[in-house]
Structure 1
Amino acid sequence: TMTVKLKSGDVPLLAGHRYQVRLISTQATDAQGNSLSYETEEATFTFATQGAATQGASGTAVYPTIVSTSPADGAVNVSTEILNTTGVSLTFSMLMDQASVKNSQFELVDVTDSSNNLAFDLNSSFVDVDFSGTSQTKVTVKFATGNGFSLDDDQQYQVRLKSTGAHKLDDASKKQTKRRAIIQQIQNNVNTLPQTNSK
């Protein structure tokens, strides 16, 4: 664990604001001299300071966040047909304005072969978007009938949120969801358990 703070001076953060801490560059190595290996997205984290702009009366955040995904981050043995069958989904921390959620763009990234990436809008006729939930909004995305897309065997994929206008339901200020550079990372390793491959 490494903790960093200002050596001197008093520079308070503003109340009710969100901040990102980014690792711009590093020469860090382990005890054997191996350089730190990391993805750009792994070197960034976001947090919010207390204040009326970010908290309700109970002290809980009033802006939406993404609380879970399916497949979960780091999942393995994911079906190559997931985008044509169950789809990928994410759950927001609160009820969302559905039209604003559909004003988002996802990118499917083949980590193994970055030239094989695919970006798609949620309001496109090429995808089906389903909403569910009574206290939280779960959104599930898959390709519409006739527009299937199969993943390749033994590849590692990332689903990224490239852009979004998503905000919570009945929010006149349209306070947007805290954007995560990577919503989820799924690893498809169907050769390990062939029965998970629905191709």
Structure 2
Amino acid sequence: MVPVDQVLTKNVSAVTASTSVTVLGLFHVVETMVPVAQVVTRTGLATTASTSVTVLGLFHVVETMVPVAQAVTRTGSAPTASTSITLLSLFHVIKSIGPVAQAVTRTSLAPTASTNVTVLGLLHVVETMVPVPQAVTRIGSAPTASSSVTVLGLTYVVETMVPIAQVVTRTGLAPTASTSVTVLDLFYVIKSMD
């Protein structure tokens, strides 16, 4: 995985300020929404407010928090435990719900269990396994090649499906086909080219 260190987001309302925000261990430049100019994740300040912020083109609810030097999730109920999770090939400690205390990302090894975990307001089905150094897709047939794909501004090494060995992201060239690829348990339609 080759992370893009800075991604400028966009929102549909007036922008009052730009600020640095740490999401899943990656630093991004985030344009905050109208009444909000102080939204950060990793802070030593007490929680002051919750606000909407656009990160990687998706709207999330991010809250400034107490001295918790890690990304926390937004859940429907109070978190009861902390757990380690590997997202985008990086280890992070998040607040988990109920009995979830060992969620990690997929690997090539057989899963031991699956559980629901909420990360940045998005619910993911995560399989508990040994983590791998890079994000790979889950495919229904044997992979034939590895290719780079950019999802939400981040570049991943993706194992493509049997008849598809040329998966790329949208470019200025006309796409010839589209294919589904799974990154972190989310399905994306990626434009592929000859």
TM-score (norm: length of structure 1): 0.24
Larger % of strand: which?
2
Larger % of helix: which?
1
Greater relative contact order, per chain length (Cα 8 Å cut-off, separation 6+): 1
